Amino acid sequence: MNVFIVYAHPSEDSFTRRVRDRFIAGLESAGHRHTVSDLYRMNFRTDMSEEEYLREACYRLEAPVPEDVRLEQEKINRSDGIVFIYPVFWSDVPAKLKGWFDRVWTYGFAYGLQKDGRRSMKQLEKGLVICSAGNTMDYFRETGILKSMERTMLDDRLYDRVKTKELVILEATSRENSSREENWDSRLDRVFSLAVKFFE
């Protein structure tokens, strides 16, 4: 499979960076090809321009899609699967990734034109969301935040744009957590296995 990885973390000195590298190692060991968009490294612009807003809000649908957005859309349409790797920030994706959705999921690409509902985005076979988080799974379940993240990422952002999808949280991975280092290898082994098995 061709797998497109959308990665968003501001620092290479992070657990999440290791997740990215281990995931790529898993893909390679299973013989998959991959492309990475490292949004902070690319300095991907995440604020919408007024022109983009007017296009997305159907004031001026004839406005062109910006080149950096078009390149991301091409990467999607050349892929069979998509993976998002990021740290949970305030119970959601970092603003960098939120802005990627705002700009890349354009009208006519990711959602339909009112008259015929057609979209030019390819329907992807598989989508995987892997996020690292300071809190525990128990906390995410008890507070309803897990459900909220699944609804937002899987049911809304990925929706029917991806056929098979899953969200995985690597819990209790923030630096102040003393057990972070103890759990490190098992978390990364899980990431490697996911890369091998999910895209079979």
Ligand X SMILES: Cc1cc2nc3c(=O)[nH]c(=O)nc-3n(C[C@H](O)[C@H](O)[C@H](O)COP(=O)(O)O)c2cc1C
Binding residues for ligand X (CB under 6 A): 14-16, 87-91, 132-135, 173-175
Residue 71 CB, shortest distance to ligand X, in Å, is 26
Q: Based on CB atoms, which residue is closest to ligand X, 88 or 162?
A: 88
Please report the beta strands in 109-153, taking only residues with DSSP state E, as ranges in sequence order.
124-132
Q: Based on CB atoms, which residue is closest to ligand X, 66 or 94?
A: 94
Q: Based on CB atoms, which residue is closest to ligand X, 96 or 126?
A: 96
Residue 23 CB, shortest distance to ligand X, in Å, is 13
d(CA 189, CA 152): 27
* Under 8 Å between Cβ of 175 and 6: no
Residue 59 CB, shortest distance to ligand X, in Å, is 33
Q: Based on CB atoms, which residue is closest to ligand X, 35 or 183?
A: 183
* Under 8 Å between Cβ of 123 and 161: yes
* Under 8 Å between Cβ of 59 and 30: no
H or E segment and range at residue 152: none
Chain position carrying tokens 């978390």: 187
Residue 13 CB, shortest distance to ligand X, in Å, is 8
Q: Quick one: CA torsion of 156, 161, 163, 164, rounded to 10 degrees?
A: -50
